[in-house]
Structure 1
Amino acid sequence: MRKKDIFKIYLTIGLLVWSCLNGAFAKAQSPSTSKKFKVVLDAGHGGDDSGNRGNGYYEKNIALDIVLAVGAELEKQKDVEVIYTRKKDVFIPLATRADIANEANADLFISVHCNSHSSQAKGTETFVMGIDKNEKNMRIAKKENAVILLEDNYEERYAGFDPNKPETMIGLELMQEEYLDQSLNLASFIEKEFTSAVRRSSRGVKQGPFWVLHRSVMPSVLVETGFLTNNEEGRFLNSNAGRVKMAKAISTAVTNYKKAIQATESITVAADAPVVNEPVRVEKSKIYKDVTFKVQLAASKRKLETKSYNFKGLKNVSRIKDGRLYKYYYEATSDYTLARRFLQDAKVKGYKEAFIVPFDKSNNKLQLKQVLK
């Protein structure tokens, strides 16, 4: 091989390497490539599973139309990525729906459905995962879980879970304890939008043993947008205007939830970040009189000892009973700068969904936005 040819080869390789490195550097510097807020939207039922047929309507079609409209609204935001479990009339197993969200490492999972009843019952309701023995909630969970029976290998895939036997629902442990508080928060945002923006009747935020929520490992909700069996609600949900309004309410709720989460100024730790030999900039203390900042780690029905072995080695953990839940907090300080460091410590330990919560002198929870004004 001639020297001239060898030179050309090395020159080509050099240019390719430079191009790759330059592209990687540009990508790292570009704000548009920062981590997006991922939302998985799940339209209930589909394909051979029509969902409920109240008043002759098709739940699967209404749920899909609402989900697509929600996605269209959210996709207008550059920092949001929308992932769909289905975008057409096909049957997707429940386990697959949750797996899609888990594999995407999503920030939220939202499953949309329509309700039914033998009476003229009406109203929206948004569920989070939980073992609630309330008969009405169990009935709804049983109905939505029953789709499992349409799958050929359901006994193997769902490890003996039988949606026709309520006692097997109780066997579903609350796998989402780390995300329960965030799920409740999102559910509240959604129900608030349904009542204030769309003027719908709300049956509130509830807990139920839904398999698709049990399986997903992120804040997750199942939204019942209304009863197709109710004459007025059925007509509303089956109308294009009704579906658009419900979709707008859900998308607004997601946006408000995202803003609330971002208001905590969560700190992402880049494990592979390059070491820069520059003086470390020490942030000044930001003391807020009569305010105590704590880092919320988790919310659970379980009353745990606040020992470090229960919290991945973190010390100075406190427990507060809030309604039916115990909430666990790490550290306590009136210095917001220090609180942010504590938040970073918690995230490094694995509490990726941790966030800062401010309290007043009487230990009442405050809004972080208001405190930081």
Structure 2
Amino acid sequence: MKTKLLLTLVLAVSIALSAFTIKDVSRSDSISAVQQNPFIVVLDAGHGGTDPGNLGNGYYEKDIVLDVTLQVGKILETQPGFKVIYTRKTDVFIKLNERGPVANEVDADIFVSIHCDSHHTQAYGVGTFVMGLDKSGKNLETAKKENEVIFLEDNYEETYAGFDPNSPESLIGLTIMQEEYLDQSIMLAGLVQNNIVNNLKRKNRNVKQAPFWVLHSSYMPSVLIELGFLTNNTEGKYVNSKKGRKEMAEQIANGIMSYKKNLELATNDFKNPAITEQEIDEAIKVSEKKVYRDINFRVQIAASGNKLETKPENFKGLKGVDRVQVGALYKYYYGNTSDYNVIQLLQTLAKEKGYSTCFVVAYKDGKKLNLSKVLKTEDK
């Protein structure tokens, strides 16, 4: 669906702008822009300090995931265009509710949390999770185990406002905030998962949805990786080994680099023009209309716990940004139109301004709709 949508966007922009001449961006200019605006990755090594994580077969999860996380970061730091930030680089305890906000504070592009799994059987395999809840709820147990770390914190009842890791109702309530980034999170998770499974020949436990507290508070594509089961006699030994840690770190780093490259393809390899607001206005005038009756298309450019004034200077010069509060979260939207071609052009301008991961949403009578379903309906 993403590829199809991207091709539609490129075609729409090309047709709409064919009536006048605009400036091309050279490959060197594109590379320079990437260097000026680094791709920020926040890496989160699970557990730490007084929280050892699981101790399957006598191994310490906190030590394994810290080692793998640091190796992933070291690889990424050697690549142009990357900036890596860690929630922890030593054996310290970081509260669960402080990990995701680290990524929010630096306006990260992605958040990656690394863990090891455990089970009372000889279960084994690699799994990568995104925020959500599968229909059967069968992944609740994995989420419960990771969320129960809150019991190690002082005043956890006040900090987590009555959240109960063992309550399905509490867990389901976590899924709302990350739903805007689900598609991008799944793409990132899939790239990492496929690398580990295919290149290291590990058992595939697939990309799954589960309600993890550490993911719910981050306002960008976010994934949690379970490297394998320390409780499995064979897999635990591999995950704990120097060889296993190195190999998994390489595959995770490669997955992240592939994700970044895919994003760059949307802006560089299709050779989209550098578009100004005036050119967008002209393009809108000549673009073919594609109106959906009673539908309001908008571009979501940001989501934050901070309440910002909707002045152009707060949004890289974009005019007419709206702020909508959803619980404790503020979402910021640019544009409001029933014409899908117009909203695609506005999305292109937002990306040119630096909102590389902005996306189109659809509303009807104030209720958010599934964009792909809206686009499948007949034009009105």
TM-score (norm 1): 0.68
Structure 2: tracts of 5 or more residues without a match: 1-31, 284-296, 301-321, 325-332, 361-371
Give the SS at the match of 1:172. Answer: helix
AA aligned to 1:315 is T
Give the SS at the match of 1:242. Answer: helix
Written as runs of structure 1 = structure 2, the 5 A alignment for 1:1-373 is 34-132=36-134, 134-265=136-267, 313-316=335-338, 331-332=340-341, 341-345=345-349, 353-354=357-358
Measure how far apart 1:309 and its partner are: 12
Measure how far apart 1:159 and its partner are: 1.1
Measure how far apart 1:348 and its partner are: 9.0
Give deviations 1:88-123, integer Å, cap 9, x for gaps.
111000111111111011000000000000111111
AA aligned to 1:44 is G
Give the SS at the match of 1:314. Answer: strand
- Find runs of 4+ consecutive structure 1 residues off by over 6 angstroms: 266-270, 308-311, 348-351
- Contact 2:104–2:218, Cα closer than 8 Å, also in 1: yes
Instruction: Quote the Cα distance in structure 2 between the aligned partners of 1:57 and 1:268.
Output: 53
Instruction: Quote the Cα distance in structure 1 between the aligned partners of 2:42 and 2:253.
Output: 12
Q: Between Structure 1 and Structure 2, how many residues are aligned? A: 287
**Which structure: larger Rg?**
1
Give the SS at the match of 1:86. Answer: coil
Instruction: Quote the Cα distance in structure 2 between the aligned partners of 1:217 and 1:60.
Output: 25
AA aligned to 1:227 is F
TM-score (norm 2): 0.67
AA aligned to 2:348 is Q
Instruction: Quote the Cα distance in structure 2 between the aligned partners of 1:352 and 1:314.
Output: 19
| Structure 1 stretch displaced more, 176-185 or 259-268 | 259-268
AA aligned to 2:52 is S
Measure how far apart 1:354 and its partner are: 3.0
Give the SS at the match of 2:225. Answer: strand
| Structure 1 stretch displaced more, 343-352 or 215-224 | 343-352
Measure how far apart 1:345 and its partner are: 4.6
Instruction: Quote the Cα distance in structure 1 between the aligned partners of 2:274 and 2:132.
Output: 31
Taking a change above 3 Å as real, the CA distance of residues 31 and 159 of structure 1, as seen in their structure-2 partners, is same
Measure how far apart 1:341 and its partner are: 3.2
Give the SS at the match of 1:176. Answer: helix
Measure how far apart 1:170 and its partner are: 1.9
AA aligned to 1:111 is S
AA aligned to 1:241 is K
**Structure having greater relative contact order (Cα 8 Å, sep ≥ 6):** 2
Give deviations 1:317-342, integer Å, cap 9, x for gaps.
6xxxxxxxxxxxxx25xxxxx99734
Give the SS at the match of 2:177. Answer: coil
Measure how far apart 1:54 and its partner are: 0.6
Taking a change above 3 Å as real, the CA distance of residues 216 and 313 of structure 1, as seen in their structure-2 partners, is same
- Contact 2:298–2:334, Cα closer than 8 Å, also in 1: no
Instruction: Quote the Cα distance in structure 2 between the aligned partners of 1:314 and 1:55.
Output: 56
- Contact 1:178–1:353, Cα closer than 8 Å, also in 2: no
Measure how far apart 1:231 and its partner are: 1.1
Instruction: Quote the Cα distance in structure 2 between the aligned partners of 1:118 and 1:43.
Output: 23
Give deviations 1:18-55, integer Å, cap 9, x for gaps.
xxxxxxxxxxxx76861100000000000110000111
Instruction: Quote the Cα distance in structure 1 between the aligned partners of 2:189 and 2:74.
Output: 20
Instruction: Quote the Cα distance in structure 2 between the aligned partners of 1:316 and 1:348.
Output: 22
Instruction: Quote the Cα distance in structure 1 between the aligned partners of 2:131 and 2:274.
Output: 29
Give deviations 1:37-80, integer Å, cap 9, x for gaps.
00000000001100001111001011001100000100011210
Give the SS at the match of 1:60. Answer: helix
Taking a change above 3 Å as real, the CA distance of residues 268 and 64 of structure 1, as seen in their structure-2 partners, is farther
Taking a change above 3 Å as real, the CA distance of residues 154 and 226 of structure 1, as seen in their structure-2 partners, is same
Taking a change above 3 Å as real, the CA distance of residues 78 and 352 of structure 1, as seen in their structure-2 partners, is closer
- Contact 1:179–1:353, Cα closer than 8 Å, also in 2: no
AA aligned to 1:119 is T
Measure how far apart 1:132 and its partner are: 3.0
Give the SS at the match of 1:51. Answer: coil
Instruction: Quote the Cα distance in structure 2 between the aligned partners of 1:108 and 1:309.
Output: 23
Instruction: Quote the Cα distance in structure 2 between the aligned partners of 1:349 and 1:242.
Output: 42
Give deviations 1:253-282, integer Å, cap 9, x for gaps.
000000001111188999xx9x9xxx99x9
